[in-house]
Structure 1
Amino acid sequence: MKTSNFSELNLIPALLKALTDEGYERPTPIQTQAIPSLLEGRDLLGCAQTGTGKTAAFALPILQRLSATKGKHRILKALIVTPTRELAAQIDESFKTYGRHLHLRSVVIFGGVSQTHQVNDLRRGADILVATPGRLLDLIGQRLISLNALDIFVLDEADRMLDMGFINDVRKIISHLPDKRQSMFFSATMPREARDLSDRLLLNPVKVSVTPQSTPVERINQTVMFVSKENKLKLLESLLRDKAITKALVFTRTKHGANRLTKQLTQSGISCIAIHGNKTQNARTKALEGFKSGKVRILVATDIAARGIDIDSITHVINFDLPNEPESYVHRIGRTARAGNDGIAVSMCSGDERDYLDDIQKLIAAKIPLDRDHPYHCRESEAGLVNGMSAVQYRKEKAQQKALEFQKYKQARSSGARDANAPRPRGGSYSRSSGHK
């Protein structure tokens, strides 16, 4: 079904006016495919990566269906569960934006902050609730939230929810839902656990798949630069001094790496800010607001924290560290080239990351163009070598070295004195399992 404008989707005038206010002219493919079925009350299984317009794909039908509901408003009728605080806040903002001409009220709840303000919001009544799993279950347990009258349930970013260990929380939430409801399940990837969960949640769903997770958005210009680990910072600094980079998202593999890189860039006179799971909610909100408004043009992030970033104007994504899970590469670069814009994704690859690059290229079924035209090109890294060793052998030796350091540390501790040659071992590992600290 090809649709050239939103009016062809049978949306009510109040929603069309809100879309016009925001400058939206044409629906995205997932909106075209999903909205008509959702307006009919069908369950939906959506396989869609970030940046495809899926929030509007479920928010618009929810607002339209609830606005037509007879009876008392301010009784919870729709619940959207999502993995991160940032994503929850942005989905709530979308409901408020699209529903500005309707008499419906949305509330958002998440952990990491006091529940007092959120509870007060709930007591004033809500038609729509956007929540993260932990805080939702806490308030259900305190009998501050009832799902008895719920008509619509949305599980968003399901694959990341499972990655973050929320599977049991999600199952508990599903157990609280009324049997008669409309359900929507969105996931960028469909691992077996996600498929099993969708089978439990959905009844005869419409299936929508837009831009499979292994396929990066076509408008993203991707390049890879081979560089030694020691020269990565210098290469990044040279890239970020380019004034054409107006809003850049830089990825590191760990929280510690994000903090360290932010400090190093700041010391070099490059203004930036970090966002990751160890930051307080206020710090994360402030970082996102500064980045979104343009006060800060460079945001350093980890994979999980970045799942809540929904900003149309990101011009560049830079992988300072390649992800050790190839699917994360697609999620990362999907932060650019949104809302019809073009985007640029630059990946730095040191010798110990060469097999990560191979896995990424296997997943996306394409070779990422190589850029040797920079002063820090490293032939050894291009060959997948570190100090003459393969990437796998290098990580193995580093892991053995850390294990030996830890053994020395334990021996020193057990003897009651810390040996000068047995320093406290630093955290981190070079194995594949270490990517999400």
Structure 2
Amino acid sequence: MLPLLAAALVAIVGIAVFSVIAGKKNVSEKKSKKPKDRNAILKEANKRLAQNPKDSEALLMLGELYYNEESWDKAMHTYGLLMDLVGIDMNLNEYEISLRYAISALKTGKFEEAYKGFLLARTKDMESFEVNFHLGVLEFTRKSYEKAVPLLKHAAAKQPDHLETLKYLGYALYKTGKAKEALPYLRRVFEQQPDDKETIYAMGQCYYELGANDQAIRVFTHLRPDPTYGPQAALLCGMTHLRIRQVDRAIMDFEIGLKHKGIKSEVLLELKYRLASAYAQKQELGKALNLLMEIYSVQPAYRDVEALILKFRELNSNKNLQTYLIAPPADFVTLCRKIVATFIPQAQVKILNIAVQKNEYADILAEVETAKWQDLIMYRFIRTTGPVGELMLRDFHARIKEAKAGRGYCFSAGEFSEEAQKFVEARLIDLVDKEGLNKILMTTN
């Protein structure tokens, strides 16, 4: 949500209504003569300050003049001097002086000084809408979202219909992992400002986090053409389509995202990475490899790109290995059946049962008969290039006993851990690792 941070800075600098409100209030309980014109004010104030640099009434005259003229640098300096005097002159209104100092600092882009001023003002009035709103947005820009939420809730309680408050409260709630609580605030803003792309995008993110896939897709599809939010919206739209296994639509989303100009580097890399993954799911490994190589040329250490390049190159050169690892389950099972049928030479094989566990592995129970022996054998084919541990072998052993099979064979396109190998030493289970599996796949029609 990086665009929102920039928008927040613009919002807190650009909202002048609070400056006007504050400008109409008296910052001292003293009743002073107000000279009618600017020159007279300057002349009188400077004359008094020449005699006494800590003349609070003269500083108030100057501060009010600069504040009303929107001479923010001078106003900030003057109210800064007055802040040093509030402990001496009990007639000074510390809240109003701190508030004006903070607003002047905001207007000049001095956010740290503004933050300190608003904090001081809040010690005098914890219910002030102006203070809570501005402090809340400042906390948001500092990425202190947990602190922003209660401040913005205080502000919303004072002015329930203030859209900027509702907007940043929704943003902050989302950032603190409370997407469900954020949505009602964002919807209220959207109802009043249906063209607010920031709010629409934030709503889409909430839907995505909540698993409301249809709503998320509608929002992100609407934003895909937008030059600012389009690339990120296309990325999240594609990720949502992948989540519900609509790979073709995900590919279209990522491709639309990549057509934008001036895409931020982190979004560009992620779009290419996700598109490569989607192509791989469609077994279009050539396209996937091209994208991964583009990423590698820019940022070699990005995610697991280097490992994927090696993996996809190998898969691209071995059609059966490609089927074993990434083909749809039906094609994977067909390949496994062929391996079972030919694994033991000159044997008659009758497949009795096939069980597929999600997309992780397949178990095949077969009756195998040779000229010398006959047995019931369980085969497990694991779809991974990573290490296979002891737990997987324990589960396989339990399945063998349950089926009353005489022995088992476990195949993997990766390696077996040391613990897994020790586990099968005293059991009738043989392990076939990547090297052995590749030899089998190379000779399987």
Question: TM-score, normalised to structure 1's length?
Answer: 0.28
Task: Return the structure number with greater helix share.
Answer: 2
Would you tell me which structure has more strand in proportion to its own residues? 1
Q: Which has the higher contact order (CA 8 A, sep 6+)?
A: 1
TM-score, structure 2 as length reference: 0.28
